[in-house]
Amino acid sequence: MEKSFGMTTLRQIFRKGGHKRFARYVVIITAVFLLFVLFKPGSNIFNWIDARMELSRQEKQISSYRQELQDLDARIDLLVTDRDTLEKFAREQFHLAAPGEDVYILETDKE
């Protein structure tokens, strides 16, 4: 079975010939470069991970706000179209009463 051209050539470079030192330098320089790119101050891999987590958190918050907005729109539609619901809302939120009715507000102690 024949070996691929690329693997054979790489093995020869690392084991034999005058390119052995050069190949080691290339590997070391490449490793140092990769470490620098991944861990340099200001834009390292940890900042990328933090940014991704923050983006995910904000996307969940946007989704939550959209759901809340849909719920509020549905409530507004109900208040605009249904007179009984509007009357109940006005009585509960603003303590309004029809003419001749008495309003009693009960407050409880919260400890």
Per residue in 51-68, pLDDT tens?
999 999 999 999 999 999
> What's the Cα-to-Cα distance from 89 to each of 97, 101, 105, rounded to whole Å?
11, 16, 15
Token duo for residue 104: 């009693």
User: Whole-model pTM?
Assistant: 0.50
For the segment 60-95, what is each residue's pLDDT rounded down to a tens digit? 999 999 999 999 999 999 989 988 888 888 888 887
Nearest Cα to Cα of residue 93 among 105, 83, 101: 105
- Mean per-residue pLDDT for 15-27? 75
Query: Is a pLDDT exceeding 60 seen at residue 7?
Result: yes
Helix %, strand %, coil % for the chain, to 5? 70, 0, 30
